[in-house]
Amino acid sequence: MKAQLLCTFTYLDAISICLDDIYKTHGVQNVTNVKSYSYIETPNNVVCIYNISSEGSRMKDTISINRKKESNTFYSINALNSLIKSLNNGVLDKTYRIEWSIYKDMILLSDANYNCRLIKIQELSQ
């Protein structure tokens, strides 16, 4: 199986429980590159981002996510599509070029109305 990048949402005071759950759910040997980021504007909100190399059930409050390494930008496909539409006069054009440096150290998520939310993040020391 190809490695999959996942993002689990939690809170600062529950981060150790969340990390334990990640390893229990997927197996210690199947989890790599675990990093935790807090939201700059609401530092109690935290995301744990990690690769898994196994199939299996997905944890609660977890989504599949993608990353642009050059800008350390994480994004869901729905958020990317929403972003393109907002930048391209409502048209979803999959060849539209995103200037990723604008979204440096951010996570792009879609809300309930499929609008793109831009959230500035900072890595937590582990």
List average pLDDT for each run of 10 residues in the chain, which is 126 residues long: 90 96 93 96 96 84 96 97 95 95 97 91 88
Contacts for 24 with CB less than 8 Å, ≥ 6 apart: none
Token readout for 29 is: 């040997």
pLDDT at 63: 95
Tell me how far apart the alpha carbons of residues 117 and 79 are, in angstroms, rounded to a whole number.
7
Of 18, 13, 34, the C-alpha closest to 123 is 34
pTM: 0.91
The DSSP bridge partners found for residue 63 are: 7
Tell me how far apart the alpha carbons of residues 43 and 32 are, in angstroms, rounded to a whole number.
24
pLDDT at 77: 95
Q: Using an 8 Å Cβ cutoff, are 49 and 60 in contact?
A: no
User: Is beta strand 62-64 parallel, antiparallel or unpaired with respect to 106-110?
Assistant: unpaired
pLDDT at 1: 63
pLDDT at 26: 92
Task: Name the residue with tokens 């935790």.
Answer: 36
Tell me how far apart the alpha carbons of residues 43 and 40 are, in angstroms, rounded to a whole number.
6
